[in-house]
Structures are given as C-alpha cells and as structure tokens.
Structure 1
Amino acid sequence: MDFEMTFGVFMHKDGSIYDDIPEVHYQFPKIYLSRAQQMVGDWIIYREPAKLPRSKGFFAVAKVERIIPDPDVADRYRAIIEEGSYLPFEPTVPHKVEGQPVERDLANAQAAVRPLSNADFARIIALGLPEDDTLPRVGELEPPAAENDWRVQEPHVPFDSERPIVQTLLNRPFRDRAFRRAVLHAYDGRCAVTGWKLVNGGGRLEAEAAHIKPVSEGGPDSLRNGLALSGTAHWMFDRGLIGLTDELDILVSRQVNDPSSVTAMINPTRKALVPGREAERPHPQFLAWHREYCFKH
C-alpha cells in the first residue's frame, strides 16, 4: 500500500449526530484526531456507509485546510475544508464495480476517518470525475447510453504525469464541467424556477448550472450551492432580480421592471423545484448569503 500523500476517506451520513457541512467542515470525535491531523493539507474523499439504503458510495472530494476543536461540542473536532476545493462526483462511485471493491487497499472499513492509498484515490477520482468533452457549453448534459452505465463501467484514468491529479482538481475549466454535470443530473436538466426542461434537436439542454454564492465570493462547487436555471432565470438570479427563501419560495425583486412577465415565467408552485434528496437541495447558508448580498429588496 502507498499512503505517502496521506489521502483519506471521511465517512458521512445525512442526518447523523455529527454537525457536518461537507463542503465547509467535517465533525469527528477525538478518537480520530491524530489520524485526521495527518491529512491536513491533503485531499480526502467523502463516502456514505455501504449499509445505508441507496447509499451513493463515494460522492465528493475536498482538501483539508486545518483541524480545530469543535466550538460547540466537547471532545469533538472539525476538519475545515479549504475554500474552493470541494467537488461533487457525477457519477457518484459505488462501493463495488463489477464485483470488486473500489477501495482495495482497505485496512478498516468501519473507521469513519481513514487513510486512502494513492492507487485507490486515483481510481475513485477517475470514476467520479471523468474528464470528457460532453459538456462543451454551459448547461449541456449527455445521458448515459443505458441506465446506470456509469456505475458498472470503469473509465480510463484521465490523469497522466503531465497533469497530476491534485493539479487537475484545482483546474477551473475541469471544475466547471464537473459542477455542471453534477447539478444538471441532480435536477434532471429542469430549471428550478420555470420548471422548463427544454432540449434542442441535438439533445442539448437549455438549463445552466448556477452557483448560489459565486465562486468569486468563496462559494463552493457543491450541489447545495447550485441550481439548475434556464438562461433568463440564471441571468435574473445572478443580478438579484429573483431569489429564494429558506423554504424555497421564489422571491421577485421590486426592482423588476416587468413583474407580470416574470411572474408568468415562474412555475405554478411558486417554489423552486429541487431534488428530492435533502443533501442535494440548496443549503440555507448559501441562500441567506444570496438574499443579503445579491437580492435587490
């Protein structure tokens, strides 16, 4: 096994007793402190437990910036995620591919914080962040040839000596493609505001992947900081002409010069149409930022 760079795995489950915001911080008990400290400055991969119903397996990669004592709970700590490093996988990576574990150099499958070999790290990244040309413009989504194809076919590793993995993970065009792919898949290519799922003759989706809190302001490339929006809705959202409450009600700014047309564009529920899974819906922390710093009241 090769653990030179101290890559790691953080086990995460939505709704657990731990206060995790995977794109911001990861909470863990004192028993894992020495192990987590070895990962500071290196990359970890998030994984859901295999025993979880409909487990999505390995679902994101991020870089650990530092470890701090948890400010709220004694004998717990937080791994602070480096700003701009979190990136969701699409497809998410199952625990096994063709009957073989994806994490092969496994010492302790039960440990919530554990090291990850270089070979396992490279394999998981290649599966979860396939480097392709299927999204040459904002919003395009190419479906797999058959349902769940991405979960059983191991792609060619897209990384070589000229493009080290860790360098690629910080490459902005690469991250933009991965973010678009994850957001449009989670929203099934449908605009959260209008409800439209428009596709041109070439199979290209009209919807775009929008950041709620922009990357330029420290917003992460995470599903919970993303929305699928049509071109017009994206333009209005970025300029603060529409926004969302924490309950996902769609807000229309009083500064809109044609409110009736905007209202007619909004889907009949008057709420954002978001994924069913909680972990894929907009996070209140990012929605609050948009209302405070972007939305025109």
Structure 2
Amino acid sequence: MAFGIFMHRADAIYDDVPAERYQFPKQYLSRAKQCEGDWIVYLEPSKVANTKGYFAVARVQEIIADPGHEGMYIAVIEPGSYLDFGDPVPFRYDGGYVERGVLNEHGRVSGRAQAAVRTISDPDFWRIIDLGLGDREAILPRVGEQGAQLVGFAEDQAAFETIPVRERVAQLMTRALRDRNFRKTVLRAYDARCAITGLKLINGGGRAEVEAAHIRPVERDGPDIVSNGLALSGTAHWMFDRGLVGVDDDHRILVSRQANDRDAVEGMINDSGKIIAPVRMAERPRLEFIRWHRENCFKH
C-alpha cells in the first residue's frame, strides 16, 4: 500500500464524486492499485482559476473496473473517510513545494507533477496533512516516516517520541478533527454568512457567529463534506435541525406550518427567499442531502 495523489477538477469529463468515487483511465491503473486500502490526497490543478491546491484526504476502499465505461476504472472511496482540509494547501508554498517528490535532481518540477494519479512518500503526505488540517497541537503529531518532526518546510529534526504511521492515520477519523475542519470548510465556502438570514456577524474576538450545520446529520450517515453543510446562525441552525425550516430543490427556504410564529420566522429570511449558496458549484448543497432533510426532518 502507498499514499497517493488524485488530481481532480469539478469541470472535468470524468464521473468523479470525491467523497464517493474517482474515475480514471487504464493508464493509471497500476499506480491507483498501489493506493488501494490506503489514503490519498486530492489536488486541484494549478490551471483551475483560484485553485484550491491540495484540498482533501480520503481512503481508497477498492479499485474496480467501471461497469459503464470500457477501459475506465473507479477508485471507490471508503464511506465516511473523506475529509476536506480546513486550510487548503497550495501546490507552491512559501517559496518551495509541499510535494517534494515532484522535483527532479536539479530541484525543478518534473513531468511527474502532471500525472493525475501518483504515489507520494510518507513525509510528503504528512507535510500536506500537517498544513491542511491546521491547529496542529490538537490534530496530528508532526512526525515523519522515520520519526522526523515536520514544521512547515523546516528541516527534519529528531522528535521526542515516535508514533506509528498507522496510529497517526487513525487520527484522521477522529470526531474532533473532522468537526473542526468541517466548520472551517463550510464557513469559508459561505464567507461566514448565514445561508438563511444573510447576516455575517463577527464577534469582538474576530470569530464568526455562525455554525456549520450538517444537512444530513452524521448520526444519520451524513458525510463531513461541504456539499452536506450550511452556514447557519445559532437560531437558524436550531430551527433547521428541528425541521421548522427546510430547503426545496431550487434552494427556496421553506417554513413549516408547525412553526409557532411563522411571521417571525419568515421575517428572518433574507430578501431573496433562497439560501445564500457558495460561489463554487461544487460547494453548494447536493440535492440528495436537501431532499433527505426535507423527507426526514422537515415538518410539512
């Protein structure tokens, strides 16, 4: 098994849903097979306007032939493993490159950087994870393959303790880490603005007074992905979770007939009558999650 990079762009011709599957041609099969059962990092190409760079991590459950497209294959992503980075990592960072494996012997970027599927070294993987997940003291030990401490692009130094690689990998699934990065990702996508009220409130400490709400809750098999999230004020979040407000397929905000004071609730809704959705299409709520909430939570 090996860590890897999967290159993805939302407007590509491939049938990708990063949290579920990654489609690729046969030429990349041997490389993708090396990542089967292990973790990969998603990279948005530099050619994409306002690229996010390295933007998420996920575990490849298995590689299968695409039953609907001859010569194509699918990397099936393990359910619940996908995690957006709270802090997307640029390909070129602080005058250097995060993924040092793309450099040739002269320190220049090689043709390897163009490969849509490629394996990466343990130190490169953990360097990207370290930068992408932020708040390092509560997330992952900055320990490399041979117990080297990774601090940005500092030289590797001896660590005071060595934590096994697979133990560190397991930490990618912890609830605290996933909740924190889900909040960062959702608030960035919505510009820290409540999707229902349209208000962007920042407290005296500079912290946004909105919360990251799962449309389909985690306890009901909802994934920690931005398209399953809404940025909501505390009150709007409370009403959404209790089914007093919902969203239709055209993003119009619905108010339940069971709301005690419909006029007050309707008065909270922004003038458009629709949720204020992210600019990026890929970050907007997916219909399957909106419909799940409407069918299972919203009080008609």
**Aligned twin of 1:161:** 162
In structure 1, what is the Cα distance between the partners aligned to 2:208 and 2:95?
34
User: Where do 1:1-297 residues align within 5 Å?
Assistant: 5-106=1-102, 108-132=112-136, 154=152, 161-162=162-163, 164-297=167-300
In structure 1, what is the Cα distance between the partners aligned to 2:64 and 2:288?
21
The total of aligned residue pairs comes to 275
> For 1:24-45, what per-residue CA distance to the aligned partner results, in whole angstroms no more than 9, with x for missing partners?
1111122222322221211000
Q: Is the 8 A contact 2:130 2:136 kept in 1?
A: no
**Aligned twin of 1:144:** none
Shift of the alpha carbon at 1:221?
1.0
In structure 1, what is the Cα distance between the partners aligned to 2:189 and 2:30?
36
> For 1:183-221, what per-residue CA distance to the aligned partner results, in whole angstroms no more than 9, with x for missing partners?
112212111001112222222322100111111122211
Shift of the alpha carbon at 1:160?
6.6
TM-score, length of structure 2 as denominator length: 0.85
Q: Is the 8 A contact 1:67 1:78 kept in 2?
A: yes
Q: Is the 8 A contact 1:130 1:155 kept in 2?
A: no
In structure 2, what is the Cα distance between the partners aligned to 1:94 and 1:251?
39
TM-score, length of structure 1 as denominator length: 0.85
Q: Is the 8 A contact 1:253 1:295 kept in 2?
A: yes
Shift of the alpha carbon at 1:6?
0.4
In structure 2, what is the Cα distance between the partners aligned to 1:28 and 1:44?
14
In structure 2, what is the Cα distance between the partners aligned to 1:79 and 1:159?
37
Task: Identify if the C-alpha distance between structure 1 residues 206 and 265 changes in structure 2 by more than 3 Å, giving closer, same or farther.
Answer: same
> For 1:76-96, what per-residue CA distance to the aligned partner results, in whole angstroms no more than 9, with x for missing partners?
222121111111112211011
Task: Identify if the C-alpha distance between structure 1 residues 155 and 249 changes in structure 2 by more than 3 Å, giving closer, same or farther.
Answer: farther
In structure 1, what is the Cα distance between the partners aligned to 2:43 and 2:77?
15
Shift of the alpha carbon at 1:155?
8.0
- Bigger drift between 223-232 and 158-167 goes to 158-167
SS of the equivalent of 1:13 reads: coil
SS of the equivalent of 1:105 reads: helix
Q: Is the 8 A contact 1:11 1:49 kept in 2?
A: yes
- Bigger drift between 121-130 and 26-35 goes to 26-35
Task: Identify if the C-alpha distance between structure 1 residues 159 and 51 changes in structure 2 by more than 3 Å, giving closer, same or farther.
Answer: farther
In structure 2, what is the Cα distance between the partners aligned to 1:39 and 1:31?
15
Structure 1: gaps (5+ residues): 135-152
In structure 2, what is the Cα distance between the partners aligned to 1:267 and 1:155?
45
- What is the aligned-residue identity percentage? 56
- Bigger drift between 261-270 and 201-210 goes to 201-210
In structure 2, what is the Cα distance between the partners aligned to 1:228 and 1:248?
14
Higher relative contact order (CA 8 A, sep 6+): 1
Q: Is the 8 A contact 2:65 2:74 kept in 1?
A: yes
In structure 2, what is the Cα distance between the partners aligned to 1:99 and 1:59?
19
In structure 2, what is the Cα distance between the partners aligned to 1:252 and 1:183?
23
SS of the equivalent of 2:179 reads: helix
Shift of the alpha carbon at 1:159?
12
- Bigger drift between 176-185 and 160-169 goes to 160-169
> For 1:228-258, what per-residue CA distance to the aligned partner results, in whole angstroms no more than 9, with x for missing partners?
0011111111122211123211112222222
In structure 2, what is the Cα distance between the partners aligned to 1:252 and 1:74?
47
- Structure with larger Rg: 2
Shift of the alpha carbon at 1:162?
4.3
Q: Is the 8 A contact 1:126 1:155 kept in 2?
A: no
